[in-house]
């Protein structure tokens, strides 16, 4: 047994930040959410304070509605949506196969911003996956083969042994085939919310909502 927890040692109830930022108004918004995302993504990347601005939390759910979340890296975005790469047999991969509804969250806390996306995920084409796989370092390519992501394994040693086997089969400089169980998902958004923190909790929340081919914008109470 461990000692009883002492929550007074470091009490999260006493932790609060006052966000001192400029107002974020409807007039500041780009015509479409991906363009607005591009602006904020650049500002997050330009701020030395935001580490890994392309890290996002992806939440999926079983068909019965049990959610699960994890961090992944955004690897591409354009007018069609947000792309990340993963193992299709992983928990997220199999949840997305049976329930394509997904949410993404970019937690840019150091600049008092977050971007929240809801949408539908589909697998990207194999050509697009192969093109990205080829840009990955050799070790990461082997890693994609070595790990049956999300399955239970006996030990770390087992994982390393599998990696070493693959490294012997495909030495540095030799082409590693794209694993059939690995690839991209593209999340086509139906809502994208831009959240800017302010003093006294008077935050700005501007949400694009898909409306046929167009987008409408609504302001949400903070």
Ligand X SMILES: Cc1cc2nc3c(=O)[nH]c(=O)nc-3n(C[C@H](O)[C@H](O)[C@H](O)COP(=O)(O)O)c2cc1C
User: Active-site residue 201, yes or no?
Assistant: yes
What six digits make up the tokens of 41?
């993504």
Of 99, 122, 149, 191, the residue at the interface with ligand X (CB under 6 A) is: 149
User: Does 86 contact ligand X by CB under 6 A?
Assistant: yes
Exactly one of 201, 207, 216, 219 is catalytic; which is it?
A: 201
Rank residues 19 and 132 by Cβ distance to ligand X and give the closer one.
132
User: Does 45 contact ligand X by CB under 6 A?
Assistant: no
Rank residues 37 and 88 by Cβ distance to ligand X and give the closer one.
88
HEC string of 108-166? EHHHCEEEEEEEEEEECCHHHHHHHHHHCCHHHHHHHHHCCCCCCCCCHHHHHHHHHHH
Report the alpha-carbon angle 125-130-131, nearest 5. 100
Going by C-alpha positions, the residue among 3, 41, 9, 12 that lies closest to residue 192 is 41
Report the nearest approach of ligand X to the CB of residue 171 (Å). Answer: 25
Provide the annotated active-site residues.
Answer: 201
**Binding-site ranges for ligand X (CB under 6 A):** 52, 55, 68, 70-73, 84-87, 90-92, 149-150
């Amino acid at each position: 047994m461990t000692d009883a927890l002492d929550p007074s040692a470091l009490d999260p109830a006493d932790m609060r930040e006052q966000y001192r930022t400029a107002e974020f108004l409807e007039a500041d918004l780009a015509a479409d959410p991906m363009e607005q995302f591009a602006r904020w993504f650049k500002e997050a990347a330009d701020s030395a304070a935001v580490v890994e601005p392309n890290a996002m939390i992806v939440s999926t759910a079983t068909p019965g509605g049990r959610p699960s979340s994890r961090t992944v890296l955004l690897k591409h975005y354009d007018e069609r949506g947000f792309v990340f790469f993963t193992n299709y047999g992983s928990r997220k991969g199999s949840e997305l196969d049976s329930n394509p509804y997904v949410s993404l969250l970019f937690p840019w806390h150091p600049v008092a911003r977050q971007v929240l996306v809801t949408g539908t995920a589909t697998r990207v084409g194999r050509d697009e996956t192969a093109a990205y796989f080829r840009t990955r370092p050799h070790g990461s390519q082997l890693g994609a083969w070595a790990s049956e992501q999300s399955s239970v394994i006996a030990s770390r040693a087992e994982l390393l042994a599998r990696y070493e086997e693959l490294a012997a089969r495909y030495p540095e400089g030799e082409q590693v085939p794209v694993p059939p169980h690995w690839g991209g998902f593209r999340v086509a958004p139906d809502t994208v919310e831009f959240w800017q923190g302010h003093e006294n909790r008077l935050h700005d929340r501007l949400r694009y909502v898909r409306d046929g081919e167009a987008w409408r914008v609504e302001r949400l109470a903070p």
